[in-house]
Structures are given as C-alpha cells and as structure tokens.
Structure 1
Amino acid sequence: MLLPAVLAQVHHFNWTANWMYGNPDGNARRQIIGCNGQWPWPTIRITEGDTIELYLTNGMDNQTTSLHFHGLFQQNTTIYDGVPGATQCSIAPGQTMLYNITVDGQFGTTWYHSHSAAQFMDGLRGVLIIDPKDGKYPYDYDEEVILTLSDWYHLGVDYIRPDFMNLFNPTGAEPIPQNLLWNETRNGTWNVKPNTTYLMRIISMSGFVGIYVYLEGHDFEIVAVDGVPTEKYSTDQLYLGVCQRYDVLIHTKNTTDQNFAFMEAFDLDMLDTVPDDLINNYTNIMSYDDNNDVPEEYIIDEYKDWQDFNLVPADGYKVEMYEDPDLIVRGDIVMDNLGDGINYAFFNRISYIEPKVPTLGTILSAPDDDTAEDETIYGSNTNTHVVKKDEIVEVLLNNNDTGKHPMHLHGHVFQVIDRGPDYEDEPDPVNWNSSAPVEYPKYPMMRDVVVVPPQSWVRFRFKGNNPGVWFMHCQVNWHTIQGLVMVFVEDAPNIRENQYLTDNWKEICETSNMPYVGNAANNTADFRNLTGELVQVKELPAGFTAKGIVAMVFSCVAGFLGIAAIGVYGMADIPNIEQKVAEDFALESTELLADTDDEYHGDAANVDNVEAGHNKDSSSASDSSPDRIRSN
C-alpha cells in the first residue's frame, strides 16, 4: 500500500519569466515572455502522485505575473491555483513565488500558463503531462506526440488592450490574430512510421479563436477530453474551443508512398470581420517519407457542427448524472457598454472587478465560519457564490451574445447535462426553458472547458467536494479582461480548518502593497461593511446604444476639429477665406442645409425608438429570474 508514495518524486524547477525577442510565425519579430531566456517554455512531465516544486521569479520590470496549472484540481492547495485577486496576490517584478503542488487523483493532458493580464498570449505557457501512477494509459498505442495549437498576434497584449478597451471600440470587437501556430511555429512537419498507432495529445493554447483541425486520409479516434478518458469516438475533424484538450489515436497507413496535409483553420464565426489578408487554412505535413511530394492544401466541404456533448466517459471513469441540484447558479451572458462608453462582459449585469483582498485571504481572515459563508463579504462586483460541503451545483449559462464563449471552471471537471443549438442567425437569443422536454445522458460528458453556443445555453453540474476558491470564466482572454468571470467559494469551513497562507505567499502580497486580510473592501473590523470596495463603472443613461456612442464620439471629434478650424481661420489673415472654407469642406451651402435638415428631422423623430443594447450582440436579459437558487 505504501509503494506509490515511496516511488513518488519531487520535481524541482527554478524559472524566471523575462522579456525576450522571438518570431514564432516567421513574419514579425516581437517581444515575448520567455523562461530563463528561452522560448517555448519547458514541458513538465510527472507521474500521478508526484510533487511539483516550482519557483517562479518575475524577471519583467514592467508587469506583475502569476502561474496557473490549467485543469489541476489543487486538492487542499487552492493557494497555488495562480489567480491574482482570488487565490494569490500578483508577483511583483523581482519577486519569487513557490508553487508546491502534489498532483494526486488525476492524470492526463493539460498545460500551465500565466493568469495575469492575458500574458499567455504573449508566450507565458507550456505543456503539462501527468502519467497514470500505474504507468498504463487506458488505451494501447505505439508512440506518443504532443501538438499545441494557438492563435498569434504580431503585437503584445499591452499594445493591443488600450485600443480594445476603448471608447472608440464601443461594440467590443475583439482584436483579430495575424496567424495560427502549430507547436509554437508554422508549417510544421510530423514524421511518422507506417502501420503505427500514435497517441496525439492536442492542446489549444489559443487566447481568442477556436481552431479546427483535420487530417487528409486519416481519422482521429478520440480517447480523452480535458484529461477524462472517453469511449472511443472516430471523426475526420476536430474543433477545439479555446483551451480545450483532446487525446486522439491516429493509425498510420501501411505504405509510405504519399505524404498528407494536416490542416489547421480559424473558426471564422468568432471574428467580427475577416481581413482580406488573413490566411484561414494552414497546411502542415504528415510525412511518411521526406522524398515524397509536398502535399497541397486539403479542403473539406464544410466544418461539422462538432457536438462533444455526445462523448461518453470510458469504463472506470463513468459517473452517473448527479441528482437534482442543491444550488442552481444562473449566469446570463451579456456584452454591453457602461457609462464610460467602453464595452464590458457581464454575468447578470455584473462585470468582474478584482477585490482589494484576494478571496482566499478574506476566507481565512473572517472572524468565523458563518461570516466566511456569507457571499456578500466577497464583494458586489465579483459574482461570488458560496457552495457548501458536497452540494450538487448546477450552473445554467444563458448566452445572450452572438459569440461563442468557452467556459472554464477551475478545480473540477463537470458534467455537461444539457446544451442548446447554435442560434446565431436568430433575431433574438433563445434562453433555456425549464418546461421544454430534455433527454439527459445517463453518463454525461465530463470536462473542464465547455463552449456555450451563440444566443443559446449550457447547463452543467459539479459536486462541492473540493474545498477551495475556484474561478469560472470565459477562456477568451479578451472576455476575461472585459469581466466575464464568476467565483465559487467551496466549503469555506474546511478551507479555514485545513488550509493556510505560507510566509512566501504573504510576502508576495506585502511586496505588492496588497492587503490579504479583511473583506473585499479590506475592512477588517466589520466584514459586512463594503464601503470603499472596487465596483464597475455606472450604467449608461437609458436609450444609449453602441451605435449611439459611435455617433456621439465622432460628432464630438468633428466638433473639436471644427472649433480648431474656426480658431485657425479666425486668427489667420487669409484672403478669399469664404472660398477656401468651402473648398476645404468640399460642400455647397445647399448640401450643408440638406444634411442639417436630415439630422434634425430624421434622428430626432426616431429617438424614442432606439433600442438599448449592443449593436454586435443582443444584450437584453431574458427575464428577471434569479441568478442563484438554493433548493430546499
């Protein structure tokens, strides 16, 4: 019985995150975040039961950082889940944080990345593979390969974000990547042997777009999803939502007389516009023999409406659908503008604002268990929900947006029990209807990232058996920046009894001048007094739309330019000034009068008919149903 513990290893890592220059796609040399002066970051490979002892030093002089181990359950180590504002303070420049994690009770394909300011889109990311403790993968194979997929920008997040979260981008149009990467480069070649079964671990490290992959002349046999082994499922193409993972078996042919195209493609439905110079399909090579002709681009007739909902966990990993929930948490997804004209993302009209005190610090400094289980102490703008020990929680997400939202829950795999179809082309969102018939799976698919279809819904359940602070957020980094986040405080009394803050953890906070005791407002005397907490910008006045904001902004700009022109002309001694003004504006007086008449009679007449909302997406809440229901 003691043998696994005796054989368990401790893996030591000393890493420094630092800026360096790289050119992954071969088209633009730019700053990226490297590890000890190298990029890509190292692959971590451990065995179930092993311990990771990783010292991360922030070698960047202009940004704080963090490290999240995507998909790890972090049992009794929520302190190392790596989410600033929730489970830790940000690591300041020059500071070092120890992540000390024993990985037990799970194995499979996953990865690690920064959870700060979308830094993983700047390169702070790497592969994490956990082998089963008995050394035997659930399915037989001959050889193993790892494939990472991601989108790539030619500018860093710091350069892009100011234009994205900006009054001049009132529709919230996401920045469009320049390329897709294949194992952190382009034009990849995979050398294969004939008559061989490969286990391919495919990981999406994308920050915005979903990615299709398809392989000429071969099928993918899915055998695991987000680390959960599944019954075999054969398909000729895969769709990976942002940050999803698939293990697939690929059987090679008996002959070596042809090489094949291994394709990667953007999910163009996620782009507001498609630039003329955007390359959509990327051709990589599955090479049986380097002497064969290079394969041409492989075109498929259509992308399948991939329904991972139909996957079933493998024998030994099946869990019957959880019984009726003790707690129902509803999140209505909306993308909309606030009073500053900027477009934000909301669950139930709340756009996440990081609290002054990390949520874990609030739990551990609360005066008693009852206070720690009062979700109001965690802040008005954190969308925090308290889960009691072993409660069955059902999360209902109604997507009132025309975009896809890949939702990731930390600390768990969940059961996807119901998902609506894609209603992107419908005039209005279609929310879940409790009276509509539904056929539930006996053994639901289990994973940790699920894509919520456009203007549709998803329902999933998990069991509150992992005490901790768990983020749930859209894995589209731009949407996380916009505030599409929920937090679950799970079994707070257990956290208070069995978990604690290390001296190193506290030092990280102190160096950053961040408090780690008190409620969300850093009130230590009265935890239910949130005076001074950080909250979202006030709502827009009724009747404003994104189009209205655009019109207002450009009207103001035009007004300022007009005043400037008046000033220039007024102070200058210019002959024939009337003629020059008319030439500059290229308008006849009759045109000016006509435009003015249209503006006053057209727009003013319709002012009462302007609809509030987001011109790109439907932003109206479906109804006034509560976002949180605890069953009796």
Structure 2
Amino acid sequence: MASLQPSRPASRLASVLIFLISVALTNAATVVYDFNITWVTANPDGMADRPAIGINGEWPIPRIQANVGDHIIVNVLNSLGNQSTSLHFHGLFMNGTTHMDGPSQTTQCAIPPGSSFTYNFTINQPGTYWYHSHTKGQYPDGLRGPLIIHDPENPFKGMYDEELVMTVSDWYHDQMPGLLDFFMSKANPTGAEPVPNSALLNETQNLKVSVEPGKTYLFRMVNMGAFAGQYIWFEGHNMTILEVDGVYTHPAEASMIYLSAAQRCSFLITTRNDTTENFPIVASMDTTLFDVLPDDLNWNVTGWLVYDSASPLPAPAVVYEDYDPFDDFTLVPWDNQTLYGEPDQTISLDVIMDNLGDGANYAFFNDITYVAPKVPTLYTVLSAGDLANDATVYGTYTHPFVLEKDQVVQIIVNNLDSGRHPFHLHGHHFQGLLRSEDEAGTFQDANVTEDDFPAIPMRRDTAVLLPDGHMVLRFKANNPGVWLFHCHIEWHVQSGLMATFVEAPLELQKSLTIPKDHFDVCAAGNVPTTGNAAGNTVNLLDLTGQNVPPAPFPKGFTARGIVALVFSCLSGILGVAAIAWYGFAGMVADSEGQAAAAGNSKELPPQQPVLAASDSDDAPAQRDEITAVSGGGGGKEAAA
C-alpha cells in the first residue's frame, strides 16, 4: 500500500513555501486612505477658475502608494452633493476582487451623494498606474491621480538614484456634464470631440524639476488626460524605457515617446555632469485627434530640468519635422513571455462612428453602441445561476462575451474610423501581436498568419489603434471577473465604444461575496441588484425593458415618406410641363445666346502645424517644483 506521507523533497519544498509566505505576510502592510470627495476651485493653467473634483478639500488629488503584497483600503465618502461617483484603479488586475474594479453599472453601483463605499484589495503587481472616476465621464473634472506600486525585487533598482512621478494631462475650462450634453446632441452631428483648453504637467504649467548633475532618475510618467495623446521629450537627454503599464521591459533607448490617454511609461534619464544649462521638458498634444484647432490653443506645455535655479529657463527648440516617437510594439518584456498559443476564442470588433435617430453621433463596436444595464453586470453574474454562461442575460447593449477559464482569447480590432483610438483592457495585460500602419485596411484583408506574429510580443494594458488600420491583441483568461474593453478617449466611452468580457462566471459564483456597503449604495441609488440586464428575475432570457440606445434612422422610405415622394415627383413633372408650354408659346429665344458661369471655390483649412510652440517663462500660470519620491507606501499604515 502506497504511503500517504509526502516524500522528503516535497516536504522540504512545502516547508520553504510556508516560510516564504509567512515572510511575505510579515512584511506586508495595510495601507489605508480616507477619501472625502468634494468640490474645490482649481486654475492649473492660470487662465480660468473653475470647480474641480478634489479629495479632502485638495486638488490635485493625493497619490496612492504601496508596495507589492500590501493590502489597500480606500474609504470613500461622496460629498459632491450633485453627482454620483466611483473609483477605478487603472491597470490593477484585482485578482479575486473584481467587485473592486470600479466601473459603474459593471462591477458596482455608482456611489450617490452622501453615501460611503470601501475599496479593499491586495496588490500583487508592481509598476506605474493611476486611479480615476469611472462614472459618467467624470474624471476630466479632476478626479484622477497617480497610483505607484513599489517593488523590492525591481530588477532595475540598482540603476537609478532617485524616483520621480510625473503626469501629463489635458484640461477643460468647462465642466464635463455641459460638454457631454453638447457632444452627445443633434447640435453636434459629426461627433466632434471638445478640444482641451490646455496641456498640463503634474496638473500645472511651467513645472520645474530640480535635478543634480551626474545622477540617474527614474521617471514614472502617466497620461491622465481625457482625450489628447501626448508626444514627450527632454531636450538634451535621452530616455531608457524600463516599464510600460506595469510590465518591465528590456531597456530601450528613446528620444521621444508617445503616451495616449491612460498609458504609462517608466524611463531613466541620466543628467549631465555640469550645471551650466537648464533644459526644456516638452509635452505636445496630438492635434491630429482634434477636428478643429482653436486660435488661442497652445497644444504644448513646457517644464524644465533645472540644474541651476539662477540660470535662465530656455524656450524649447522649434520642431519643423514630423514627430517620430518610439514604437512601443517593439518593446520586449523583461520576463520574455512567449506568444500565447493559437486562440480558443477570437473576438473581432469593427470601430464605427455613426448617427442614431436622435441626431447625435455614437461609437460602435460592430453594430452595437454600449448602453449600461439596469443591473450591474457583475450582480447579474451572481444571480443568474447556470444561465450566467449565456451571454444573453447580460443584455444586448453591454456587448457581452463570455470567456471560459484559461482560454487564450484573441481580439482583432479593425478601425473603420479616421481617428486614433487607445484601447484599454481591464483585469489583464494583453500581448500586442500586430498593429498596422495608418490606412492599412482590416485585418481580414491583410493575409496574416501565425508565423507573422513575434515570438515574444510586447505586453501592456492600453494600446493605440491607428486610423483606418487594425490591431491584434491576445491574452489568457486567467482572472475570473467582469472586465471592460474600451477606448480610453473619454468622449468615446460616453458615446458607446465599449464591450464587456464576462470571464469564468460560474467560478465567480463559487468564490465571490459582495460586501454589504456595496448593496447599500445600490439601495440608495434605487438600482436593482438581481436579475438580467433588464432587471428581470423570473425569465432571465427575457430582455424586455432593457436599456437601449436611440433607434437608428429608418432604412429606406416610411409610408409617409413614399407618399411625400410621389407627390413631389408629380409636382415636379407638372412644373416642368408648365415651363415647357410657356416657353414654346412665346417668342423663339435666340439659340446662340451666351450664359455667364460663375465659378465656385472652397477655401481649404491651413495645414495642421507640427511646431513645438513654447510656453513663455512669464506666463500667468502656477509654478510648482517636483520633489524626489522614495519607495514605500503612503497613507496610514498598520502591520498586517
């Protein structure tokens, strides 16, 4: 009879694992943040005071910091008074805690004014992240901040002396509710997105970064903007990329990078060995995204690497040629993760912009524009029983896809639009297998095979799809939860460019318990928490009453239109006959008369400039200094 006792090597291995786990638990901390979300007044570009959403009476809002393995608790009180809210911790996988991911009506109910809500999760990934509201296009009004997870095992920690956190963003002088009302209206049938008023560095302008000669700095840079991608460079200095979106990479040299909304990049900059000059830092908004360029728009923001505060702060050099940033699809992950095998499920999504019957312009994946369900999708998972595996219960307009545990999933995105789109996947990194050039057409027309994909693809959580091109992404469904896939231009989120991935729903039913305060905010907002997307608890396959978008324009002619067309045609024929009769009844016109034709001309708009216009040193904007940040968690700590 075989022994039930473990072998000696297995026993030793178990002892080592227990020891390592106990050490990790001993070193972990519980990092607590108490956030009272309120209105404050802000004027980051020195041009206009406006209401902004702050935390604990301050804006910019606090940075969240922790170490790998730490437990984070964020206690939220919504004191806005007139708006609901939520927090999404962008890029964190939320393993085992999908209900802490944050998108309203996806994994939770929005937090109504006066209500409290607790986010409670453990960090198991290092890197550069950010957090922001995921409710009704709210975060551009200020509810956005960096989230940094330090790593004691960082493979590059001996390569730099200090760590700096820097954000780029865009800023609007008007509040989002009014801008959204206009954007999603028949007064804006082309879907032209509101153009930001300013670009910001660390939520200000004329930023000064004090540096010392001969040192190496790790810059953690985050684009927290609503719309604009940004070209970024440091005059007189090169960057060495070490991380994107929480993924360590083999070092890669760059003179300029491009960060779309929601992307992050960490890089080294080694300072010069003298202090005779200060050097501009330039972030330049990607103006190809804008339908118009307002006359007063300066799409650049300038900061400085300051070696000597007594020396001048030079204007940046003018850039006459096209920008040529580093191609992130050439990055190689540090762990050399090879290409996932051929997909078990392929999801093909065509990006389309079109008008619906209310006259407004909407964004579509295939023929579906996202509309939030009546019941948050996660709560439908937990109340649907075996039907949780049937995508029908999640509603037509959440555009749901049910994924099996550990499937390899391939996403093909075809851009049938002439703009760039930064696509973000919640709960995962994806491998970037292929990104076409501009105007390359659809993937289906590209004649690509498995052999054309890289053996070790780049990996991140947000990637830019180029105009009229295509992109192929691949990930492993190893994180049960409800995860959105969406464009991270906030205007396109609101116009419906989202899909929902419901991953291993029956596993979720076995493992997940929703805290009481989550249900309390639903009750306060009168949001149902059981049933299908329509709130139906009797027949979950019956979607009668689900939330729907406006109806499309009628195809062909309606009955009224046919009658109108017939009478219009008859009137036209009678009119032509009358004119002919009158002409022949009168005098014969001179057959050789001459007619003068006036030519029409259309003035083309001026070519979009690519110059790096500088900010003047005496601009009426706030000046802030950036200080070095060392590792370690912030907030209130208590040993776990």
- TM-score with structure 1 length normalisation? 0.83
C-alpha distance in 2, partners of 1:328/1:535? Answer: 26
| Percent identical residues | 43
CA 1:8 to 1:80, structure 2 compared with 1: closer, same or farther past 3 Å? same
- Measured after TM superposition, the shift of residue 295 of structure 1 is 0.9
Structure 1 residue 136: deviation in Å? 6.0
Q: Pick from 263, 268, 272: which aligns with 1:249? A: 268
Q: How far off is 1:114 after superposition?
A: 0.5
CA RMSD of aligned residues (A): 1.5
| Alpha-carbon distance, 1:282 to partner | 2.4
Q: 1:434 to 1:261 in 2, by over 3 A?
A: closer
Task: Give the aligned partner of residue 236 of structure 1.
Answer: 255
CA distance in 1, matches of 2:97, 2:391: 21
Q: Who is 1:607 aligned against? A: none
Structure 1 residues 246 and 503: alpha-carbon distance in aligned structure 2, compared to 1, 3 A threshold: same
Partner secondary structure for residue 421 of structure 1: coil
Q: TM-score under structure 2 normalisation?
A: 0.82
How many residue pairs are counted as aligned between the two chains?
536
Contact 2:255 2:326 in 1 (8 A): no
Conserved 8 A contact 1:321-1:442: yes
Q: Which amino acid aligns with 1:153?
A: Y
SS at match of 1:360: helix
Q: 2:340 corresponds to which residue?
A: 322
Amino acid in structure 2 at the alignment position of 1:230:
T
1:340 and 2:352 aligned: no
What is residue 417 of structure 2 aligned with on the other side? 401
Distance in 2 (CA, whole Å) between partners of 1:537 and 1:305 is: 40
TM superposition shift of 1:434: 5.6
Name the CA distance, whole Å, in 2 between partners of 1:384 and 1:391: 16
Q: Which runs of 5+ in 2 are unaligned?
A: 1-19, 558-596, 598-640
1:378 to 374, 383, 394: 394
Instruction: Tell me the secondary structure at the aligned position of residue 445 of structure 2.
Output: coil
1:496 to 2:512 alignment: no
Deviation at 1:299, TM superposition (A): 2.3
Residue 439 of structure 1: how far off its partner (Å) = 2.3
Give, in angstroms, the shift of residue 116 of structure 1: 0.8
Question: CA offset at residue 133 of structure 1?
Answer: 4.3
Displacement of 1:139 after TM fit?
Answer: 5.7
C-alpha contact 2:249 2:332 (8 A) present in aligned 1: yes
Amino acid at match of 2:49: R
**Any idea what the Cα deviations from partners look like across 1:394-439, whole Å, max 9, x if unmatched?**
000001000110000000000000111012xx8xx54443624662
Equivalent residue number for residue 547 of structure 2: 534
SS in 1 for 2:332: coil
Residue 307 (str. 1) matches residue 339 (str. 2): no
* Offset, 1:10: 0.6
Q: Contact 1:18–1:33 (CA<8 Å) still a contact in 2? A: yes
Residues 230-266 of structure 1: CA deviation (Å, up to 9, x unaligned) = 0111111110011100000001001110111111111
CA distance in 2, matches of 1:280, 1:92: 36
- Unaligned 5+ residue runs, structure 1? 545-597, 599-632
Residue 52, structure 1, aligned to residue 65, structure 2? no
Find the aligned partners of 1:539 and 1:47 in 2 and give their Cα distance: 50
The match for 1:548 is none
Shift of 1:537: 1.3
Match of 2:607 in 1: none
Using the TM superposition, give the Cα deviation of residue 305 of structure 1 relative to its aligned residue in structure 2, in angstroms: 5.3
The reply on whether 1:421 has 2:437 as its aligned counterpart is: yes
Alignment partner, residue 102 of structure 2: 82
Q: Judge conservation of contact 1:15–1:55 (CA < 8 Å) in 2.
A: yes
Does structure 1 residue 198 correspond to structure 2 residue 211? Answer: no
* Partner residue in 2 for 1:63: 83
Determine the structure 2 residue equivalent to 1:512.
525
Partner of 2:407: 391
Kindly indicate whether residue 61 of structure 2 is the aligned counterpart of residue 41 of structure 1: yes
Instruction: Please show how residues 450-489 of structure 1 align to structure 2 within 5 Å.
Output: 450-489=463-502
Select the residue among 332, 352, 371 that pairs with 1:353: 371
Match of 1:365 in 2: 383
Q: Return the letter of the residue paired with 1:381.
A: Y
Partner of 1:185: 204
Mapped to 2, the partners of 1:296 and 1:351 lie a distance apart of: 45
Q: Which letter does structure 2 place at the counterpart of 1:184? A: E
Name the counterpart of 1:152.
171
Is the 1:56–1:98 Cα contact (8 Å) retained in structure 2? yes
Please list the CA deviations of residues 489-535 of structure 1 after superposition, one character each: whole Å capped at 9, or x if unmatched: 00111101001211111111111100010000111111111111111
- Who is 1:630 aligned against? none
Correspondence for 1:96: 116
1:448 is aligned to 461
Determine helix, strand or coil for the equivalent of 1:372.
helix
Matched, 1:107 2:120: no
Partners of 1:263 and 1:282 within 8 A in 2: yes
Higher relative contact order (CA 8 A, sep 6+): 2
